[in-house]
């Protein structure tokens, strides 16, 4: 267990260093930082002095170490586009993305798992067929198209829901929440549904496949032979054993929800990190791009790590195998 | 997908067979019969959904290929555009005309023609990206599996890092960096190449892992050892003996990936970092139309969107079928 943990941690650090290296390379080799800071009439000696003061003449290793140190404290310099500290900009955007992602993940789980259980248990019913057809569409319709269709129906056609923004938000220190006002909830419905649809169908298909697999096994037959009720067999025995892969995938999907939020946030002009990143890419705002990269990289590494550990905790077979290897 | 290719070779096969000797004709006929008698054709025919998907995909591909000849208008010729025709609704709605069957956009471009040309670009970028990813992945996978040691470790660690992020994020990043590095005036010209490279660089990992895994198995088999013993050059062993034996699973991944590549292209174009409005793919068309959603011109983005969804759905279904058809466990 300890060896596994250390190995995983080592890998996580390696990934983070690779991400930091890419972000650092972005900073230093895309464009000239001096040119983007000074005016045209700055003399060569002046530029050289600035270069020396900013430490741009130091060796690669020293500069990279300094970059990592600053990044760890959340300092990424000034945004080229807005001329404000990047850390401050990101701090404003984080709550919007986190609220959206968590609501979408919750929706995907709360609706996806029951749909998967139902279609797994009643394979031939018409509702299952309908849900499966729906899941196929959910997998194939591009996220942005779902968003556009929702806007077309509920904003343009029916005029029920706002098509952009977060509605009104309430401030708690640096955190701004849209989940405490009616307007905020109205604004978050469509983006959250759009973002969750793909994950929902994925979870549903996964749970269905696992249920079908488990229901075939011998211990389910024995449970039935022992005369247990359907409920006990389906939920006590079958469902419990399908949850291991579901936890893994659902955890990893939380990461891709944050990535796919870029698309959803663009469609609904949701003021989160994804929209910020796309605007940074369009304006080649390197500090913002680099900061987003490091932050999202960190999210992913943490999620992957937690899922790995969780997997280990949930599945006793893994533990036993590892321990036996450790002893023998 | 297979079957369409099969029926395509029927036509050319019989046309070419006539001048050749009767023996050759008989041989190609028996080859054909084998295709139509085979498992693959049978499983294809027995699944109406797959047949329908193949027809839809074929329709869109043929339409895209023949765009310059069948499109009613040339959407890229500014001289043929007239602002008087701007924002016409589709033909069956009030105010529409059959000159523009699916209506026009805000600059008077015919939507149907734009879709035909747009799916051409979408398919081109999708196919090229998958091909490039396949070449890159197979080459690196073979290298990693064959050389082992340090080479293997470096390639696979890069793969691990890439695999911990979603492909779309990596494609976005590569695209964004390219924008920063390349000169601005050249960007719209090479946008499609940048896009292809970005998608390929985010997709190669799957191929590399699959090829490396089968190379590790194959390299210890007797035919490889025999080839080594009789002094065949390593390059010849890898390309001539190993490659054909590790290619099977890769081709299946490629079909499943095609839909994903088309989707990634459309998404990047929709986000405004893909193909520019001067050479619009389906994603760019949807982006353009998105701005006019609120003025009631829903057809500008809806029709390209429907074509995109139909294309991705049908390619997905074909990929699923192909994967199942090649999976002996499910037979």
**Cβ-based neighbours of B57, under 8 Å, separated by 6 or more:** B1, B4, B311, B314, B315, B318
Quick one: pLDDT at residue B91? 62
Q: Cβ–Cβ of A259/B298 closer than 8 Å? A: no
Q: Is B299 on the interface with A (CB under 8 A)?
A: no
Length of chain B: 331
Q: Is B160 on the interface with A (CB under 8 A)?
A: yes
Q: Is B172 on the interface with A (CB under 8 A)?
A: yes
Q: Can you tell me the mean pLDDT for B59-81? A: 75
Mutation for testing the A interface, residue in B154, B178, B262, B267 having most A CBs under 10 Å: B267
Quick one: pLDDT at residue B1? 35
Beta carbon pairs, A and B, within 8 Å: 106
pLDDT at B331 over 60: no
- CB contact at 8 A, B196 and A301: no
Q: Which residue has the higher pLDDT, A159 or A135?
A: A135
- What are B103-118's pLDDT values in tens digits? 777 676 777 888 888 8
Spatial CA neighbour of A240 closest among A252, A249, A231: A231
pLDDT at B122 over 80: yes
Q: Cβ–Cβ of A148/B173 closer than 8 Å? A: no
Q: Which residue has the higher pLDDT, B210 or A251?
A: B210
- CB contact at 8 A, A202 and A253: yes
Whether the full predicted model's pTM is greater than 0.80, yes or no, is no
Place of tokens 């080859």: B31
**ipTM for the assembly:** 0.76
Cα A154 versus chain centre, distance: 26
Distance CA B60, CA B124 (A): 13
- What are A144-157's pLDDT values in tens digits? 888 888 888 887 77
Distance CA A233, CA A248 (A): 23
Say what the alpha-carbon torsion angle A240, A244, A248, A253 is, to the nearest 10 degrees.
-30
* Pair of tokens at residue A187: 């604004």
- 3-state per-residue secondary structure call for chain A: CHHHHHHHHHHHHHHHHHHHHHHHHHHHHCCCHHHHHCCCCCCHHHHHHHHHHCCCCCCHHHHHHHHHHHHHCCCCCECCCCCCEHHHHHHHHHHHHHHHHHHHHHHHHHHHHHHHHHHHHCCCCHHHHHHHHHHHHHHHCCHHHHHHHHHHHHHHHCCCCCCCCCCCCEEECCEEECCCCHHHHHHHHHHHHHHHHHHHHHHHHHHHHHHHHHHCCHHHHHHHHCCCCHHHHHHHHHHHHHHHHHHHHHHHHHHHHHHHHHHHHHHCCCCCHHHHHHHHHHHCCHHHHHHHHHHHHHHHHHHHHHHHHHHHHHCHHHHHHHHHHHHC
Distance CA B315, CA B129 (A): 15
Distance CA A165, CA A187 (A): 7
Which stretch of A284-298, B3-17, B55-69 has the lowest confidence by average pLDDT?
B3-17
Distance CA B221, CA A103 (A): 52
Q: Which of B160, B175, B263 sits opposite A142 (nearest CB)?
A: B263
Q: What is the mean pLDDT of chain A?
A: 78
Q: Cβ–Cβ of B305/A148 closer than 8 Å? A: yes
Q: Which residues pair with A78 in a beta bridge?
A: A85
Quick one: pLDDT at residue B134? 92
Q: Cβ–Cβ of B293/A148 closer than 8 Å? A: yes
Give the pLDDT band of residue B129 (cuts 50, 70, 90).
very high
Q: Which residue has the higher pLDDT, B155 or A307?
A: B155
* Three-state DSSP class for residue B51: helix
**How many Cβ atoms sit within 10 Å of the Cβ of residue B183?**
7
User: How many angstroms separate the CA of residue B327 from the nearest CA in chain A?
Assistant: 17
Q: Can you tell me the mean pLDDT for B172-179? A: 78
Angle between helices A240-267 and A143-150 (to 10 degrees): 70
Q: Cβ–Cβ of A148/B286 closer than 8 Å? A: yes
Q: Which of A280, A289, A301 sits opposite B164 (nearest CB)?
A: A301
* Three-state DSSP class for residue B88: coil
Q: Which residue has the higher pLDDT, B271 or B296?
A: B271
- What are A4-22's pLDDT values in tens digits? 778 778 878 888 888 888 8
Give the pLDDT band of residue B84 (cuts 50, 70, 90).
low
**In the Cβ-directed half-sphere of A224, how many Cα atoms lie within 13 Å?**
9
Q: Is B220 exposed, middle or buried (0-12, 13-18, 19+ CB in 10 A)?
A: exposed
Q: Cβ–Cβ of B302/A26 closer than 8 Å? A: no
Give the pLDDT band of residue A318 (cuts 50, 70, 90).
low
pLDDT at B13 over 60: no
Q: Which residue has the higher pLDDT, B328 or B68?
A: B68
Dihedral over Cα of B199, B204, B207, B210: its sign? negative
* Pair of tokens at residue A282: 């369009």
| Highest-pLDDT range among A43-57, A226-240, B175-189, B301-315 | B301-315
- What are B259-277's pLDDT values in tens digits? 888 888 888 888 888 787 7
Angle at B31 between CA B30 and CA B36, to 5 degrees: 90
Give the pLDDT band of residue A166 (cuts 50, 70, 90).
confident
Q: Kindly write down the DSSP assignment for every residue of B135-182, as one continuous string.
A: HHHHHHHHHHHHH-HHHHHHHHHHHHHHHTS-HHHHHHHHHHHHHHHS
Which stretch of A37-41, A67-71, B120-124, B233-237 has the lowest confidence by average pLDDT?
A37-41
| Highest-pLDDT range among A99-103, B182-186, B247-251 | A99-103
Q: Cβ–Cβ of A140/B271 closer than 8 Å? A: no
Q: Can you tell me the mean pLDDT for A67-71? A: 77
Q: Can you tell me the mean pLDDT for B13-37? A: 60
Give the pLDDT band of residue B6 (cuts 50, 70, 90).
very low
Q: Is A45 exposed, middle or buried (0-12, 13-18, 19+ CB in 10 A)?
A: exposed
Quick one: pLDDT at residue B131? 93
Within 8 A of A137 by CB-CB distance, chain B residues are 313
* Three-state DSSP class for residue B110: strand
Q: Cβ–Cβ of A15/B173 closer than 8 Å? A: no
Distance CA A107, CA A89 (A): 28
Q: What is the mean pLDDT of chain B?
A: 77
Quick one: pLDDT at residue A322? 46
- CB contact at 8 A, B229 and B201: no
Give the pLDDT band of residue B147 (cuts 50, 70, 90).
confident
Within 8 A of B308 by CB-CB distance, chain A residues are 142, 145
Quick one: pLDDT at residue A186? 78
Q: Which of B166, B272, B286 sits opposite A145 (nearest CB)?
A: B286
Looking at chain A, the whole-number percentage of residues with pLDDT higher than 90 is 0
Within 8 A of B290 by CB-CB distance, chain A residues are 148, 267
Quick one: pLDDT at residue B97? 67
- 3-state per-residue secondary structure call for B233-257: CHHHHHHHHHHHHHHHHHHHHHHHH
Quick one: pLDDT at residue A96? 85
- What are A179-211's pLDDT values in tens digits? 777 777 877 888 888 888 888 888 888 888 888
Quick one: pLDDT at residue B135? 92
Distance CA A277, CA A291 (A): 9
pLDDT at A138 over 90: no
């Amino acid at each position: 267990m300890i060896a596994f943990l250390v190995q995983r941690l080592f890998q996580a650090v390696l990934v983070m260093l690779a991400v930091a290296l890419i972000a650092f390379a972005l900073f230093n080799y895309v464009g000239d930082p001096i040119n983007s800071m000074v005016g045209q009439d700055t003399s060569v000696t002046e530029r050289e002095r600035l270069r020396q003061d900013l430490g741009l003449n130091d060796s690669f290793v020293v500069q990279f170490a300094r970059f990592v140190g600053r990044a760890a404290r959340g300092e990424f310099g000034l945004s080229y586009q807005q001329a404000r500290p990047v850390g401050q900009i990101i701090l404003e955007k984080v709550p919007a993305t986190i609220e959206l992602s968590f609501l979408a993940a919750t929706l995907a789980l709360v609706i996806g798992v029951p749909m998967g259980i139902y279609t797994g248990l009643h394979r031939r019913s018409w509702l299952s067929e309908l849900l499966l057809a729906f899941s196929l569409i959910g997998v194939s319709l591009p996220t942005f198209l779902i968003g556009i269709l929702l806007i077309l129906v509920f904003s343009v056609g029916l005029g029920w829901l706002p098509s952009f923004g977060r509605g009104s938000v309430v401030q708690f220190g640096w955190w701004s929440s849209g989940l405490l006002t009616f307007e905020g909830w109205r604004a978050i419905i469509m983006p959250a549904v759009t973002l969750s649809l793909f994950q929902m169908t994925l979870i549903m298909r996964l749970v269905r496949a696992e249920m079908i697999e488990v229901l075939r096994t011998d211990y389910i037959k024995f449970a039935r032979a022992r005369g247990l009720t359907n409920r006990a067999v389906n939920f006590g025995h079958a469902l419990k054993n399908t949850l291991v892969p579901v936890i893994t995938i659902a955890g990893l999907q939380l990461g891709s929800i944050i990535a796919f939020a870029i698309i959803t946030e663009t469609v609904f002009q949701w003021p989160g990190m994804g929209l910020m990143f796309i605007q940074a890419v369009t304006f080649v705002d390197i500090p913002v791009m680099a900061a987003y990269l490091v932050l999202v990289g960190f999210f992913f590494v943490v999620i992957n790590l937690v899922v790995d550990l969780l997997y280990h905790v949930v599945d006793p077979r893994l533990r036993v195998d590892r321990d036996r290897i450790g002893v023998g | 997908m297979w079957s369409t290719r099969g029926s395509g070779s029927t036509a050319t096969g019989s046309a070419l067979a006539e001048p050749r000797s009767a023996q050759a004709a008989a041989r190609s006929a028996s080859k054909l019969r084998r295709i139509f008698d085979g498992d693959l054709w049978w499983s294809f025919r027995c699944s109406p959904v797959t047949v329908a998907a193949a027809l839809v995909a074929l329709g869109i591909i043929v339409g895209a290929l023949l765009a310059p000849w069948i499109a009613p208008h040339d959407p890229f010729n500014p001289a043929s555009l007239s602002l008087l025709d701007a924002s016409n609704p589709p033909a069956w709605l009030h105010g529409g005309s059959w000159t523009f069957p699916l209506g026009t956009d805000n600059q008077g471009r015919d939507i149907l023609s734009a879709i035909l040309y747009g799916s051409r670009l979408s398919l081109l970028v999708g196919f090229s990206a998958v091909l490039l990813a396949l070449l890159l992945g197979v080459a690196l996978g073979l290298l990693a599996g064959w050389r082992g040691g340090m080479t293997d470790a470096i390639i696979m660690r890069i793969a691990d890092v890439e695999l911990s992020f979603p492909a779309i994020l990596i494609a976005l990043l590569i695209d964004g960096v390219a924008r920063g590095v390349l000169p601005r005036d050249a960007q719209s010209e090479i946008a499609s190449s940048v896009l292809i490279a970005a998608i390929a660089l985010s997709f190669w990992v799957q191929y590399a892992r699959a090829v490396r895994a089968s190379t590790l198995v194959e390299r210890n088999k007797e035919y490889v050892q025999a080839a080594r013993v009789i002094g065949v050059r390593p390059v010849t062993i890898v390309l001539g003996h190993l490659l054909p034996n590790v290619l099977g699973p890769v081709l299946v991944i490629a079909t499943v990936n095609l839909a994903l590549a088309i989707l990634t292209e459309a998404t990047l174009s929709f986000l405004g970092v893909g193909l520019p409005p001067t050479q619009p793919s389906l994603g760019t068309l949807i982006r353009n139309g998105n701005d006019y959603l609120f003025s009631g011109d829903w057809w500008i983005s809806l029709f390209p969107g429907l074509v995109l969804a139909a294309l991705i759905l049908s390619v997905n279904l074909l990929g699923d079928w192909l994967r199942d058809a090649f999976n002996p466990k499910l037979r």
